[in-house]
DNA sequence: GACGTCTTTGACGCAACCCTGACGCGGGGA
DNA sequence: TCCCCGCGTCAGGGTTGCGTCAAAGACGTC
């Protein structure tokens, strides 16, 4: 419900687990990998900071009881250059330590022993709130002749904005989101005009013509909006 | 120390406390107010959703045990239109309930009884990470004709302050924050008038006209507040 | 209780959009 | 070769959506 991300098989979430207890690490790694996370591990603070810089994890799970340095120092070390979500584990229930860790920049604090379900849920929550807004980065598709910005809902052609009607834009959006793939006319009709449509192919002809007229260099010999006779249409860069 | 925007007297953080236990609410309110938070309260889910829509809190503290509805429903109700951080309180230690709440969109989960220090630390953490990154720098947007200062909530035009009503300002703010991007009329209505609006496009027409009359050089040929027929509006520098 | 401001609501003219039908063209099958 | 289906193109008409104005309702202040 958050973002459909049609066609983009998002790279797996990368987790960095920092802990010096082999058993706990193993349990975490197994559970995380089973859920298709990409996992790195570090057994002490110094390594952790190095690995974090190298691998740029999407979320960090940090045990405060490390052999070489104080956990809070690790948090500060990370926060010096990164806003990656940090989920702290600790055997200590002391309120003081929680406050210290959280104020140093941790995002969450879980006391051992903990339920794996809960930890994973907290991890999902941390990842979820870290990502969504910025996914408008590569929401823009360029061709030689024009540029489509899906986030801003703008089409640029030779420095000038192209004015599209709602239906035209909707049609364009579906095609661009499925770039290089054939989109059947039924699917196109249902996505743009609604589920009760499916045979009114004349609509498609009219609006494809409009799109080509506004975007193609030579509308009668389209290079980007290709007709696949009897099947549908395809957008190509 | 994480304090935002040095030099800007940022408005106090607004907290919405949702709980039906008077004692707990009182304790929370006292502690929060002592730390200069702005506090609203609600003792059931329905009120909570209404107040949230009205007051736009910066963070929500939600007790799951409400008299009128399931806490998870409240979370979903909020998440339908807002990304405000939600901190859940609950007497139940069940792992299941934690997972449900977190996956519904909660940001953190604290089991009662809890230490006030810890709660406040978690609250600080939630608020801190909700703050956008580069907020301080470009809190002001300039055009050839006028300047909008988002932090000071002021609009300057030719050296003179422009007087805007609350609704006008709110509308302007949403548009400016999404500069160059198209903002759908539904989104606009929900962000300015609240989540229960979405089809009253006549409001938009009236208030866009007011904004243009006050800010555009030639209100009948707007250069900054662009109408995208059938879709929404766009602010351009 | 009267006033001023802000918000909501309704009515109207006008422009833009969406749908529709007609026509021409080209390729594949009979 | 002729026919037919699918596609591209064009132009007209019904409908929707937008801008504008004005007046009534809600709210707070003096």
- For the stretch A109-162, pLDDT in tens is 999 899 999 999 999 999 998 876 655 456 899 999 999 999 999 999 999 999
User: What band does B135 get if pLDDT is binned at 50, 70 and 90?
Assistant: low
Q: Does B182 touch chain A (CB under 8 A)?
A: yes
- Please report the pLDDT score of residue A85 as a whole number: 96
What integer pLDDT is reported at residue A13 of this predicted model?
A: 94
Q: Supply the DSSP string of B124-169, one letter for each residue.
A: HHHHHHHS-GGGTTT-EEE-SS-EEETTTTEEEETTEEPP--HHHH
Residues with CB under 7 A from strand D: A 185, 201-202, 204-206, 208-209, 212-213, 219-220, 227, 229-231; B 185, 201-202, 204-206, 208-209, 212, 219-220, 227, 229-231
Return the nearest residue to C21, CA–C1'.
A202
What pLDDT was estimated at residue A3? 38
Mean pLDDT to the nearest integer, A5-34: 84
Q: Which residues of chain B does A169 touch, with a Cβ-Cβ cutoff of 8 Å?
A: 231
Give the nucleotide with minimal C1' distance to the Cα of A212: D8
In this predicted structure, the answer to whether residue A1 has a pLDDT above a threshold of 60 is: no
Residue A91 pLDDT more than 80?
yes
Could you tell me what percent of chain B has a pLDDT over 90? 79
pLDDT of A9 reads 47
> Which nucleotide across the nucleic acid strands is nearest to B164, CA versus C1'?
C6
CA B147 to chain centre: 23
Give the model confidence (pLDDT) of A24-65 as tens digits. 999 999 999 999 999 999 999 999 999 999 999 999 999 999
- Angle, in degrees to the nearest 10, between helices B116-130 and B22-34: 60
Quick check: B118 pLDDT over 50? yes
Task: List, in order, residues 6 or more apart from A53 with CB less than 8 Å away.
Answer: A81
User: How far lies A106's CA from each of A97, A131, A162, in Å?
Assistant: 11, 17, 46
> How would residue B2 be classed by pLDDT, with cut points 50, 70 and 90?
very low
Regarding predicted confidence, which is higher, B55 or B171?
A: B171
pLDDT > 90: what percent of chain A?
A: 86
Q: Is B181 on the interface with A (CB under 8 A)?
A: yes
The confidence score (pLDDT) of residue A215 equals: 96
> Residue A7's pLDDT band (boundaries 50, 70, 90)?
very low
Residue A216 predicted with pLDDT over 50 = yes
- Residues B93 and B110: their CA atoms lie apart, in Å, by 9
Give the distance, in angstroms, between residue A204 CA and nucleotide C18 C1'. 12
Q: What was the pLDDT predicted at B5?
A: 37
């Amino acid at each position: 419900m958050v973002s459909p991300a049609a066609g983009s098989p998002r790279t797996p979430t990368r987790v960095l687990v920092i802990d010096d207890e082999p058993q706990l690490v193993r349990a975490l790694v197994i559970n995380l990998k089973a859920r298709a996370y990409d996992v790195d591990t570090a057994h002490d603070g110094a390594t952790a900071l190095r690995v974090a810089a190298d691998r740029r994890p999407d979320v960090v799970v940090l045990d405060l009881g490390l052999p070489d340095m104080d956990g809070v120092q690790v948090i500060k070390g990370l926060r010096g250059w990164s806003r990656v979500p940090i989920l702290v584990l600790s055997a200590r229930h002391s309120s003081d330590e929680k406050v210290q860790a959280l104020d140093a920049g941790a995002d969450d604090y879980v006391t051992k022993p903990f339920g794996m379900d809960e930890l994973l849920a907290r991890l999902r929550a941390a990842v979820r709130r870290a990502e969504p807004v910025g996914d408008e980065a590569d929401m823009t598709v360029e061709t030689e002749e024009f540029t489509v910005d899906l986030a801003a809902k703008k089409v640029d052609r030779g420095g000038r904005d192209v004015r599209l009607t709602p239906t035209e834009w909707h049609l364009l959006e579906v095609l661009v989101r499925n770039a290089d793939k054939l989109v059947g006319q039924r699917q196109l009709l249902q996505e743009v005009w609604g589920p009760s449509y499916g045979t009114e192919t004349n609509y498609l002809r009219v609006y494809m013509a409009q799109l080509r007229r506004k975007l193609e260099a030579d509308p009668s010999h389209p290079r980007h909006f290709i007709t696949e006779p009897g099947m549908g249409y395809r957008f190509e860069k």
